[in-house]
Amino acid sequence: VEVPCVNFDNRSGVRLLIDHLIQVHNRRRIAFLQGPEGNQDSEQREQCYREALDAHGIRFDPLLVARGGFNEPGGQDAVEQLLGMQVPFDAVFSGDDEAAIGTISALRNVGLRVPEDVAVVGFDDLPVVRHLNPPLTTVRAPIEQAGFQAATQLFRLLETGEAELNTLLPVELVIRQSCGCK
C-alpha cells in the first residue's frame, strides 16, 4: 500500500554526527543506542551509523550496539549494560535525545565525565538538551515542520486524491559541548 509519509534525512544527520566525532575528536569506539524494535528511524540511523564507520575504515562491532528505546530509562539501561559487559567505548551516539539524557546519567553514576571520558551525541534537538550540563550535541530534526507537512499531505489527499508519497525534511548538526567542543 502506498501511503504518504514525512521523514527526516537520517542519512545526512547521522553522517554529520559520526564524521564530527571521528574527524574532530578522534573517537573510534562509538557505541550506538537503537530505538524501539521495528522503528524505521532507528533502523535507518543504525544503517547510516554502520556506513559512516565503514567510510572511515572503522570495523563495525556489534558489541557496541544496545537498545536504548528512544527514552531516558532505556538509554540509561543500555549504557549500564555496555558498562557491565566491560565493552570499551569513547563515544555514544544515542538514537534520540531522550536516550542521550539517560546515557549521561549512567556515565555519571560510574564516575565517567562527559565529554572528557566519553563523548555523547543525540538526535532531534529537544528544547531541554541545550540546558544539560554539558549541553548536548545533536541533530536538529524539524519535528513541528514534519507535523505540518503530514497534515498538509493528508488534506491534499482528501481534497484531490493525490499526495507526495515521500517528503524528506533536511536536518542540521547542532554542535554543543557534550562531544568535546568548547
As a whole number of angstroms, the distance between CA 7 and CA 152 comes to 14
111-170 tens-digit pLDDT:
999 999 999 999 999 999 999 999 999 999 999 999 999 999 889 888 998 888 889 999
Task: Measure CA of the first residue to CA of the last residue in the chain; give whole Å.
Answer: 48
Q: So what's the pLDDT on residue 10?
A: 96
As a whole number of angstroms, the distance between CA 170 and CA 101 comes to 24
Are the CB atoms for 66 and 33 separated by under 8 Å?
yes
- Whether the pLDDT of residue 12 is over 70: the answer is yes
Grid cell 538526535 — which residue? 123
Average pLDDT for 21-49: 97
- Whether the pLDDT of residue 181 is over 90: the answer is yes
As a whole number of angstroms, the distance between CA 63 and CA 5 comes to 33
> What percentage of residues in the chain have a pLDDT greater than 90?
89
37-65 tens-digit pLDDT:
999 999 999 999 999 999 999 999 999 99
In the predicted model, what is the mean pLDDT of the chain?
Answer: 95
The size of the chain, in residues, is 182
Q: So what's the pLDDT on residue 136?
A: 98
- Whether the pLDDT of residue 69 is over 90: the answer is yes
Q: Are strands 138-140 and 172-174 parallel, antiparallel or unpaired?
A: antiparallel
